[in-house]
């Protein structure tokens, strides 16, 4: 059911700009780490926007924010979602676009005097980024029942702050049970965060699924020694093993097809220039569209690290931070996104997502579709993340079409 409705483009852009002011960084990006003061301010802004649209605003026990537009018939809702937390050096659109565009879809229907047949909702999920608390997609994972509320609330950030306490501190530990709203369909509009659409001069990415994600944390124990007096053969250098694991993981990317790997966090103790590191905590982000290849690489890295630690007289503990399998989206939803882009005269291609998204969690609950728009220079998780106004509006109009279609069906 194609509709003549269109998003109010200038208003979408001004709302995105308003949210980007919250936690704005001098480099032009955003820093709204999950459950920080900036996240609270972003949440307050979002709740005010939802209230001004007269949505039924509910907060669940993990802090997911839900704005509901009732339908003519009761029953499962068509949910539009994403997140408003960012990484420490985030941009203006990662996550924010899906939430703000979702609100604009509901605003467009309201202003047209349309009551959808089925209820509709916009959800901003807590801690999608996994930058402060792990795993990523934490709020949607709890929503979908993949992670218990108790375990999620007990997660600690790198400084030891407890998620549940932080949620209470910012006033977003809500009364609803996560997952309280049944889903009929889920759609997420997002920036691509990679270079493909821009390189191919296409306007829309029709997302076919999300690749697998494995995050590991290594804690390596050595011996603190004087850096000037201890001959090399007497050292048990935890920092050296961290470096070797990083290099080995990189080498795996040359050996295992489509494997991506990076060490994104390293903390050395005691952290003095002239002391051989006693302890290192470091992380690896491993991704692959193929679970077997992802597992192969992980096992090789675990084996290498264990053997190298033993040979060097170091202790080693490895902890899972996140583990999400590759997730294909429902073929019917892929078709609907493709059809909507075509009906709007937009060029598109099918594409697999390299980044994790709440959509991959929601895909276990209901038919799920995702829409990408181009990221200039393929940049994301970077303050220079940028998408053109025309692409932002085009993506929101595709979201409007697929959401309208699902809500009226
Ligand atoms: C989420 O942004 C991810 O790390 O893919
Ligand atoms: Mn995102
Ligand atoms: Mn992100």
CATH number where 342 lies: 3.40.630.10
Distance, CA 378 to ligand 1 centroid (Å)? 14
Atom of ligand 1 lying closest to residue 94 CA: 2
Q: Which of 324, 341, 359 is the C-terminal boundary of a domain?
A: 324
pLDDT by residue, tens only, the chain of 409 residues: 668 999 999 999 999 999 999 999 999 999 999 999 999 999 999 999 999 999 999 999 999 999 999 999 999 999 999 999 999 999 999 999 999 999 999 999 999 999 999 999 999 999 999 999 999 999 999 999 999 999 999 999 999 999 999 999 999 999 999 999 999 999 999 999 999 999 999 999 999 999 999 999 999 999 999 999 999 999 999 999 999 999 999 999 999 999 999 999 999 999 999 999 999 999 999 999 999 999 999 999 999 999 999 999 999 999 999 999 999 999 999 999 999 999 999 999 999 999 999 999 999 999 999 999 999 999 999 999 999 999 999 999 999 999 999 999 9
Atom number, ligand 1, closest to the C-alpha of residue 87: 2
Look up residue 340 and give its DSSP letter: H
Q: How far is the CA of 140 from the centre of ligand 3 (A)?
A: 14
DSSP state of 179: T
Asked if residues 209 and 390 have their Cβ atoms less than 8 Å apart, the reply is: no
- Shared domain for 173 and 284, answered yes or no, is no
- 391 C-beta closer than 6 A to ligand 1: no
User: What's the rounded Cα separation, in Å, for the pair 266 and 251?
Assistant: 19
Please identify which residue in the block is written with the tokens 């691509």: 192
Tell me, using a 6 A CB cutoff, whether residue 385 lines ligand 1: no
Look at the block and give the residue holding tokens 């080693």. Answer: 316
Show which of 290, 324, 358 is a domain's final residue. Answer: 324
Residues 178, 299: one domain?
no
Give residue 253 CA to ligand 3 midpoint distance, Å.
22
Conformational region of residue 2, where left means phi above 0, alpha means psi within -120 to 50, and beta covers everything else: beta
Please give the structure tokens belonging to residue 77.
Answer: 């809702």
The answer to whether the beta carbons of residues 165 and 133 sit under 8 Å apart is no
Q: What is the largest CA-CA distance in the chain?
A: 78
* Pair 42, 86: CB distance under 8 Å: no
Proximal ligand: closest to the CA of 381: 3
- The structural domain count of the chain equals 2
* Same domain, residue pair 305 and 330: no
Domain span at residue 309? 213-324
Q: Is residue 4 part of a domain?
A: no
- First-to-final CA distance of the chain: 8
Indicate the pTM of the whole model.
Answer: 0.95
Q: Are 144 and 132 in contact (CB under 8 A)?
A: no
Same domain, 191 and 83: yes
**Ligand that lies nearest to the alpha carbon of residue 356, given by its number in the listed order:** 1
- pLDDT at position 3 is 83
Mutate which of 86, 136, 138 for ligand 1 pocket (most atoms within 8 A of beta carbon): 136
With respect to residue 2, please indicate whether it lies within any of the assigned structural domains. Answer: no
- Answer yes or no: is the C-beta of 136 below 6 A from any ligand 1 atom: yes
356 CB less than 6 Å from ligand 1?
yes
Rounded to whole angstroms, the Cα distance separating 114 from 110 reads 6
Please check whether residues 300 and 256 belong to one and the same domain.
yes
Q: Omega into 270 within 30° of 0, i.e. cis? A: yes
Give yes or no: residues 286 and 388 share one domain: no
* Residue where a domain stops, chosen among 267, 300, 324: 324
**If phi over 0 gives left and psi between -120 and 50 gives alpha, with beta otherwise, what is residue 103?**
alpha
Residue 319 belongs to some domain of the structure: yes
Q: Per the domain annotation, does 307 fall within a domain?
A: yes
Specify whether 23 is located in the same domain as 99.
Answer: yes
DSSP letter, residue 330:
P
Domain check: are 130 and 246 in the same one? no
Ligand 3 centroid from CA 94, angstroms:
6
316 and 332 belong to one structural domain? no
184 near 77, Cβ under 8 Å? Answer: yes
Q: Whose CA is nearest to atom 2 of ligand 1?
A: 129
Beta bridge partners of 318: 218
Instruction: Examine the domain organization and report whether 149 and 205 are in the same domain.
Output: yes
Q: Which atom of ligand 1 is nearest to the CA of 356?
A: 5
Which atom of ligand 1 approaches the CA of 287 most closely?
5
Name residue 162's beta-bridge partners: 156
* pLDDT, position 1: 61
Q: Are residues 400 and 388 in the same domain?
A: yes
Shared domain for 295 and 385, answered yes or no, is no
71: alpha, beta or left, given left = phi > 0 and alpha = psi -120 to 50? beta
Among 89, 47, 95, 112, smallest CA distance to 400 is for: 112
Looking at all shown ligands, the one closest to residue 355's CA atom is 1
Roughly what angle, to the nearest 10 degrees, separates helices 291-312 and 238-255? 150
Tokens 């949620």 belong to residue:
167
CATH number of the CATH domain containing 260: 3.30.70.360
Of 34, 100, 92, residue with least CA distance to 64: 34
The answer to whether the CB of 85 is under 6 A from ligand 1 is no
């Amino acid at each position: 059911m194609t509709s003549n409705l269109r998003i109010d483009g200038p208003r979408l852009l001004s709302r995105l700009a308003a949210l980007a002011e919250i936690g704005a960084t001098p480099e032009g990006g955003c820093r709204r780490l999950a459950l920080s003061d900036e996240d609270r301010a972003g949440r307050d802004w979002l709740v005010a926007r939802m209230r001004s649209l007269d949505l039924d605003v509910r907060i669940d026990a993990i802090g997911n924010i839900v704005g509901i537009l009732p339908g003519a018939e009761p029953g499962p809702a068509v949910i539009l979602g994403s997140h408003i937390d960012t990484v420490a050096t985030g941009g203006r659109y990662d996550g924010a676009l899906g939430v703000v565009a979702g609100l604009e879809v509901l605003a467009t229907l309201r202003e047209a005097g349309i009551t959808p047949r089925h209820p509709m909702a916009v959800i901003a999920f807590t801690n999608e980024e996994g930058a402060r608390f792990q795993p990523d997609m934490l709020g949607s994972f709890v929503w979908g029942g993949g992670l218990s509320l108790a375990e999620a609330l007990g997660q600690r950030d790198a400084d030891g702050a407890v998620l549940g306490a932080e949620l209470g501190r910012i006033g977003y530990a809500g009364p609803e049970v996560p997952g309280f709203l049944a889903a009929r369909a889920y759609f997420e509009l997002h920036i691509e965060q990679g270079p493909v659409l821009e390189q191919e001069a296409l306007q829309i990415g029709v997302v076919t699924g999300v690749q697998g994600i494995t995050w590991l944390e290594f804690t390596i124990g050595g011996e603190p020694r004087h850096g000037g007096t201890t001959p090399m053969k007497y050292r048990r250098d935890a920092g050296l093993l961290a470096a070797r694991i990083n290099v080995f993981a990189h080498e795996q990317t040359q050996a295992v097809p489509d494997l991506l790997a990076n060490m994104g966090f390293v903390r050395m103790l005691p952290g003095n220039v002239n002391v051989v590191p006693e302890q290192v905590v470091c992380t690896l982000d491993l991704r692959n569209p193929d679970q077997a290849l992802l597992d192969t690489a992980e096992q090789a890295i675990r084996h290498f690290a264990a053997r190298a630690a033993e040979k060097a007289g170091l202790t080693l503990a490895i902890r899972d931070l996140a583990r999400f399998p590759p997730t294909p989206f429902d073929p019917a939803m892929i078709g609907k996104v493709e059809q909507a882009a075509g009906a709007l005269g937009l060029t598109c291609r099918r594409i697999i997502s390299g980044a994790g998204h709440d959509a991959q969690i929601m895909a276990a609950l209901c038919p799920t579709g995702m829409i990408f728009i181009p990221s200039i220079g393929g940049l994301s998780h970077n303050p220079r993340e940028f998408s053109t106004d025309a692409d932002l509006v085009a993506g929101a109009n595709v979201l409007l079409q697929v959401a309208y279609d699902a809500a009226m069906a």
